[in-house]
Amino acid sequence: MVDVLPSWREGKIRESILDFVVRVTREGGPDYVPPGERIAVFDNDGTLWCEYPLQVQVFFVLDELRRMGTTDPALLEKPAVRALLAGDVQALAGMPKREVFEPAFMVHAGMSVDAFKGAVGRWIEGAKNPRNGRPFTAGTYRPQRELLGYLRGHGFKTFIVTGGGIEFVRVVSERLYGIPPEQVVGSSTKNAFHATADGVDILKLPQLGSFDDREEKPANIELHIGRRPILAFGNSDGDLAMLRYTLAGPGARLGLLLHHDDAAREFAYDRDFRPSPLGEGLDTTDQYGIHLVSMKNDWRAVFDD
Amino acid sequence: MVDVLPSWREGKIRESILDFVVRVTREGGPDYVPPGERIAVFDNDGTLWCEYPLQVQVFFVLDELRRMGTTDPALLEKPAVRALLAGDVQALAGMPKREVFEPAFMVHAGMSVDAFKGAVGRWIEGAKNPRNGRPFTAGTYRPQRELLGYLRGHGFKTFIVTGGGIEFVRVVSERLYGIPPEQVVGSSTKNAFHATADGVDILKLPQLGSFDDREEKPANIELHIGRRPILAFGNSDGDLAMLRYTLAGPGARLGLLLHHDDAAREFAYDRDFRPSPLGEGLDTTDQYGIHLVSMKNDWRAVFDD
């Protein structure tokens, strides 16, 4: 019988998920967790959708800069912005995520948040991953969408905790994952109230508010959610602090790391993927009690087809 | 028939609330708003519970400083901290909220967020308002609890957006208002991931993260919620930007300001209340289309009794 999590192959990982959900939902059981406290957090890039050869948002900024350019001398100083303007995907793929994302966030400074979301929504309709020709919106992982639905069906509240821009991800989170905007935590620019005769808006400022990666993920979980999750799912070293924070709480906990080891159906990469490596995570799964999920072996399907 | 909002007196304000809810929930109607977008934001101090003669959190810090003192020279320089150490409520009541809250937030720097919440939870069980002898937890306004429940019963998602400390308010929000921690937005210190042999925690840092008042309220609404509310309820000039942001969106909107004009049942104060005045708000209700709620005339009851 495979009505539940049909895209997950039978095996240790699928069992550990089903066991965990049974334990925390069994009323009167020793590991019971009331529904309100069933907080599950998921990284986005590389965990819920494809991030290879670069995160989706990088392609958005690349197209935006092509369209509008920039004459901002502070931005033009950044190697990532020069690579974005040149459309040099290979150079970008050789930089750590933060080096690309921080200046990329600044590109829309001065725009209202509503206008920014409109631009993202229009762009993402037609945009495709240059490596596999798949529309970015078709780059979500079917097993993960099943897992999100399965958890919500058992009283979990599901959150995204992403290094990507919080407003960018919010444009697609409900439609792609059934996760409403207020359950998305992410990197952010500072923003400001702005009232004129034309309207009252929130403007994006050039200053970074938070780069939601590594140790900043659990800090932002506390700021935005205010409870320690009982389940965390990531795919890179940037998710390790969030996994450790989750697993260190009392009672039943589940921490999972997705290993991209499937060159045939998606991509195979880990330690050497500069934008978001998985190395320390691979070395410490036993130490922290993290389950390593093999895309190749644990997933029956990767995408919808 | 008064099954609905029984503590609200019949009249213009109660009608405006009922009308608004009918309009935004009528499927196919011109003002229909899908459930996910029915975001309602409420200030806390003075809007959902009594803030007179000072906000509840000030009394908490006052008791904490009495208990543990401080030798931090940076803190001892602050007039508010000296007044807190001396238990000088009158001096504190003469200061703007930010002057009191900012140093008050620093008092717990270095403590884990979990330990802080434990301290708040223990303190609030026994603590009472010195002016009316009422336990702080019995200082919530019955009409507002009815309104929160009424809105949720009609598909609204209710949020607190408070100048008070986000972790402080989260300790009581679910029990007092039925609002879970993740739907509380507030002032915050920065915090940090901290892993030792003893555990993995989030520590409170001495730096202020956000003082969630005035223009910072709508900016934080965007950061935490990511959608423009359709209903906002406040009681001071600190809520005016949030009200304007809410009312400036398209479609049906409702903005309310509670006027403390009821010396017999609660307190009467507005322009001259230094910690959180209502002056500009009183002068601009017509300009911005804000409904002024009279505690004395619009509420049949104030507290539970």
Q: What is the 3-state secondary structure (H, E, C) of chain A?
A: CCCCCCCECCCHHHHHHHHHHHHHHCCCCCCCCCHHHCEEEECCECCCECCCCCCHHHHHHHHHHHHHCCCCHHHHCCHHHHHHHHCCHHHHCCCCHHHHHHHHHHCCCCCEHHHHHHHHHHHHHHCECCCCCCEHHHCECHHHHHHHHHHHHCCCEEEEEEEEEHHHHHHHHHHHHCCCHHHEEEEEEEEEEEEECCEEEEEEEEEEEECCCCCHHHHHHHHHCCCCCCEEEECCHHHHHHHHHHHCCCCCCEEEEEECECCCCCCECCCCCCCCCCCHHHHHHHHHCCEEEEHHHHECCCCCC
Helix or strand or coil: residue B17?
helix
Give the pLDDT of residue B3. 85
C-alpha A227/C-alpha A221 separation (Å) is 7
Digit-coded pLDDT (tens) for B191-202 = 999 999 889 999
Q: Given pLDDT bands bounded at 50, 70 and 90, which one contains residue B68?
A: confident
Beta strands in chain B (DSSP E): 39-42, 157-165, 184-196, 199-210, 231-234, 254-259, 291-294
Look at residue A64 in the predicted model and tell me its pLDDT. Answer: 93
- Contacts with A195 from chain B: Cβ below 8 Å: 241, 244, 248
Residue B266 in contact with residue B278, Cβ under 8 Å?
no
Is B6 a residue whose pLDDT tops 60? yes
SS3 call for B161: strand
ipTM: 0.96
Question: Phi/psi class of residue A298: alpha, beta or left (left: φ > 0; alpha: ψ in -120 to 50)?
Answer: alpha
Task: Pick from A196, A222, A287, A290 the residue to mutate for testing the B interface (most B CBs within 10 Å).
Answer: A222
Q: Which residue of B has its CA nearest to A39?
A: B182
Q: Is it the case that residue B24 has pLDDT exceeding 90?
A: yes
- Residues B249-294 have pLDDT tens digits of 999 999 999 999 999 999 999 999 999 999 999 999 999 999 999 9
Looking at the partner chain, which of A170, A202, A218 has a beta carbon nearest the beta carbon of B193?
Answer: A218
Q: Taking CB atoms and an 8 Å limit, are A180 and B36 in contact across chains? A: yes
Q: Residue B2: is its pLDDT beyond 70? A: no
Dist. CA A202–CA B214, nearest whole Å: 13
Instruction: Give the 3-state DSSP-derived string for A72-120, with helices as H, strands as E and coil as C.
Output: CHHHHCCHHHHHHHHCCHHHHCCCCHHHHHHHHHHCCCCCEHHHHHHHH
Span B125-148, average pLDDT: 96
For the residues B90-103, what does the mean pLDDT come to?
93
* CATH 3.40.50.1000 domain range(s) in chain B: 12-53+138-190+207-298
Residue A54 is predicted with a pLDDT of: 96
Residues of A in contact with B225 (CB under 8 A): 181-182
**A199, closest residue in chain B (CA to CA):** B248
Residues of A in contact with B218 (CB under 8 A): 193, 200, 202
B-chain residues within 8 Å CB-CB of A157? 182
Find out if CATH 2.40.110.10 is the number for domain A12-51+133-187+210-298. Answer: no
Using the beta-carbon criterion (under 8 Å), do A200 and B170 form an inter-chain contact? no
Contact assessment for residue B221 and residue B41, using Cβ atoms and an 8 Å cutoff: yes
- Residue B248 is nearest to which of A182, A200, A225, comparing CB atoms? A200
Phi, psi of B272 (to 5 degrees): -95, 5
| Chain A residues within 8 A of B228 when measuring between CB atoms | 114
Q: From chain A, pick out residues whose CB is under 8 angstroms from the CB of B174.
A: 36
Cα nearest neighbour of A192 on chain B: B219
The residues, ordered by sequence, that sit 6+ positions from A197 with a Cβ below 8 Å of its Cβ are none
Nearest-angstrom CA–CA distance, A217 and A214: 6
Q: How far is B95 from chain A (nearest CA, A)?
A: 25
Partners of B259 in the β-ladder: B294
Distance CA A153, CA A178 (A): 12
- DSSP lists the bridge partners of residue A200 as A195
Tokens read off for A75: 């931005």
- Give Cα separations from B243 to B24, B83, B108 (angstroms): 18, 33, 32
* Residues in chain A with pLDDT values less than 50: 1
Query: Choosing among B39, B182, B216, which should be mutated to test the A contact, i.e. which has the most A CBs within 10 A?
Result: B182
Kindly determine whether residue B215 and residue A223, on different chains, have CB atoms separated by under 8 Å. no
Minimal CA separation from A300 to chain B, in Å: 33
Confidence (pLDDT) at A68? 87
State residue B198's pLDDT score.
86
Contact between chains at A157 and B184 (C-beta distance less than 8 A)? no
CB contact under 8 A, A223 and B166: yes
pLDDT at B188: 97
Instruction: Give the single-character DSSP code of B147.
Output: H
Residue B128 DSSP symbol: B
Q: B-side interface with A, Cβ within 8 Å?
A: 36, 39, 113-114, 157, 166-167, 170, 174, 180-184, 188, 190-193, 195, 199-202, 209, 215-216, 218-219, 222-228, 241, 244-245, 247-248
Question: Does the pTM exceed 0.95?
Answer: yes
What's at A67, amino acid-wise?
A: R
Residue to substitute from A167, A223, A253, A284, interface B, most B β-carbons within 10 A: A223
On chain B, the residues whose CB falls within 8 A of the CB of A199 are: 248
> Which candidate from A184, A190, A225 shows the least CB-CB separation from B226?
A184
Q: What is the pLDDT of residue B247?
A: 98
Contact status, residue A267 vs residue A303, Cβ threshold 8 Å = no
Question: What is the structure's pLDDT at A2?
Answer: 52
| Per-position b or e across B35-71, b if 16+ CB within 10 A of its CB | eebbbbbbbbbbbbbbbbbbbbbbbbbbbbbeeeebe
Nearest-Cα residue of chain B relative to residue A194: B215
B1 pLDDT more than 80: no
- Say whether B166 and A36 touch across the interface (CB within 8 A): no
The verdict on a CB contact (< 8 Å) between A200 and B157 is: no
* Residue A161, both tokens: 């905790």
Chain A residue closest in CA terms to B198: A248
**Subunit contact A209:B223, Cβ cutoff 8 A:** yes
Q: What are the structure tokens assigned to B196, written together?
A: 């030792």
CA A127, A131, A135: angle at the middle one, nearest 5?
30
Q: Which residues of A touch B (CB under 8 A)?
A: 36, 39, 113-114, 157, 166-167, 170, 174, 180-184, 188, 190-193, 195, 199-202, 209, 215-216, 218-219, 222-228, 241, 244-245, 247-248
Task: Show Cβ contacts of residue B88 under 8 Å, excluding neighbours closer than 6 positions.
Answer: none
As a three-state string, the secondary structure of B250-293 is: CCCCEEEEEECECCCCCCECCCCCCCCCCCHHHHHHHHHCCEEE
Q: Do B113 and A222 touch (CB under 8 A)?
A: yes
- Report the greatest alpha carbon distance in chain A: 63
Q: Which of B200, B201, B227 sits opposite A181 (nearest CB)?
A: B227
d(CA B152, CA B21): 11
CB distance A188–B227 less than 8 Å?
Answer: no
Beta strands at B199-210 and B184-196: parallel, antiparallel or unpaired: antiparallel
User: Position A72: which residue type?
Assistant: D
List, in order, residues 6 or more apart from B2 with CB less than 8 Å away: B10
Contact call for B182 and A157, based on CB within 8 A: yes
Of B180, B191, B241, the CB nearest to A193: B241
Which residue from B minimizes the CA distance to A189?
B223
Q: Which CATH architecture has domain B12-53+138-190+207-298?
A: 3-Layer(aba) Sandwich (3.40)
For chain B, the average pLDDT equals: 96
Q: Which ranges in chain A are annotated with CATH 3.40.50.1000?
A: 12-51+133-187+210-298
Mean pLDDT score, B160-189: 98
Nearest residue in chain B measured CA to CA from A157: B182
